[in-house]
Amino acid sequence: MLQIIGAITPPPAITSYGSLAGNPGGLIKFFSNILRVIIIIGGLWAFFNLITAGYDFLSAAGDPKRFEKAWAKIWQSMLGLLIMLVSFILAAVFGQLLFGDPTVILNPKIYGP
């Protein structure tokens, strides 16, 4: 085949995702990494909110409105962490029930020719 432009080699960071012909799981790996980054950012955000809400709670100095606002922020941060945890548990339970493997939903494998 005549190559007018020449061969294009992907950057080293992209080669771990594979090519379409050699490794068809590249897009799945990419979205799995995006999901992991979103979960990590959500966990760090909840941790940061817990720290700032704890500081607000301690510095309320008897003011009921500040006390209530800090307590609401703590409750919402804990609820967000609980929702993230339950999503992982549900993914594992449904993966085990439907496919016999608890990691199949979070780490899917594509089988092809």
pLDDT given for residue 65 in this prediction: 93
Handedness of CA 38, 40, 44, 50 (dihedral sign): positive
pLDDT given for residue 113 in this prediction: 47
Residue 25 lies in a domain: no
pTM (whole model) above 0.85: no
H or E segment to which residue 66 belongs: helix 64-99
| One-letter amino acid for residue 12 of the chain | P
Residue 88 lies in a domain: yes
pLDDT given for residue 104 in this prediction: 83
Domain total for the chain?
1
Residue 65 lies in a domain: yes
pLDDT given for residue 18 in this prediction: 60
Nearest to 33 by CA among 47, 49, 16: 16
Residue 100 lies in a domain: yes
Domain of 109, in residue numbers? 39-113
Residue 30 lies in a domain: no
pLDDT < 50 stretches in the chain:
113
pLDDT given for residue 22 in this prediction: 52
What is the C-alpha separation between 39 and 58, in angstroms, rounded?
Answer: 29
Residue 20 lies in a domain: no
Residue 56 lies in a domain: yes
Residue 66 lies in a domain: yes
